Amino acid sequence: AQSVTQLDSQVPVFEEAPVELRCNYSSSVSVYLFWYVQYPNQGLQLLLKYLSGSTLVKGINGFEAEFNKSQTSFHLRKPSVHISDTAEYFCAVSEAAGFQKLVFGTGTRLLVSP
Amino acid sequence: KAGVTQTPRYLIKTRGQQVTLSCSPISGHRSVSWYQQTPGQGLQFLFEYFSETQRNKGNFPGRFSGRQFSNSRSEMNVSTLELGDSALYLCASRLGQANVLTFGAGSRLTVL
């Protein structure tokens, strides 16, 4: 079984500052990794995914993440945040085979202030 | 290209009633998954359907059921509603086993 840990429930940051949202996972098999963002009263939007290949993954809205197999981490980064990045961010993992469910972390609320 | 459409967006029910939620996937997508989101339990997997067959199921009681039609549209049903069933129910679709889910905006259920 897989599990995901997002240690930070909330991350406050000033506009134009860099940010890193941490995600660690646990799995005994190969996995796919994802970051989703959720704005108020909306569903989940895919930011980026790691399926295979390069460990540095670039996504939408200037976000990127690095897959680190030895540290079982998939941290999300953005060099300069905007007010509009204020949202809830979810890290998710699934087995890399068949019709596998997504297992989500508890989420990190990113609060960007001016 | 239209996204994943969920109806209704909001609904209020009372304990003991049942509810049916609908999900229309992206055109061409044959897989539909359902997730429950609550403040206490977070995002939890309910079930996934592909070509009208349930492929995977989460750890929810039998009161939670679903089905998929030949046009890939899906419905989920919750019978004998409990207060704890109040949640945002999210539907997601994907083309096949590609594991990249596209989510709808959700149906927010409030049980009084």
CA gap B57, A114 in Å, rounded: 44
pLDDT tens digit sequence for A28-76:
888 999 999 999 888 999 999 998 888 999 999 999 999 999 999 999 9
Task: State both tokens at B102.
Answer: 């596209």
Nearest residue in A to B43, CA atom: A104
pLDDT tens digit sequence for B51-76:
999 999 999 999 999 999 999 999 99
Yes or no: say if B6 and B65 are a contact pair by the CB < 8 Å rule.
no
In this complex, do B42 and A107 lie within 8 Å of one another by their Cβ atoms?
yes
For residue A92, with 0-12 CB atoms within 10 Å meaning exposed, 13-18 middle and 19 or more buried, which class applies?
Answer: buried
Kindly list the residues of chain A whose beta carbon comes within 8 Å of any beta carbon in chain B.
32, 34, 36, 41-46, 49, 51, 90, 92, 94, 96, 98-107
Is residue A95's pLDDT more than 90? no
Determine the pLDDT at residue B107: 97
- Chain B residues whose CB is inside 8 A of the A43 CB are 4, 6, 90, 103-106
A41, A102, A105 ranked by CB distance to B101: nearest: A102
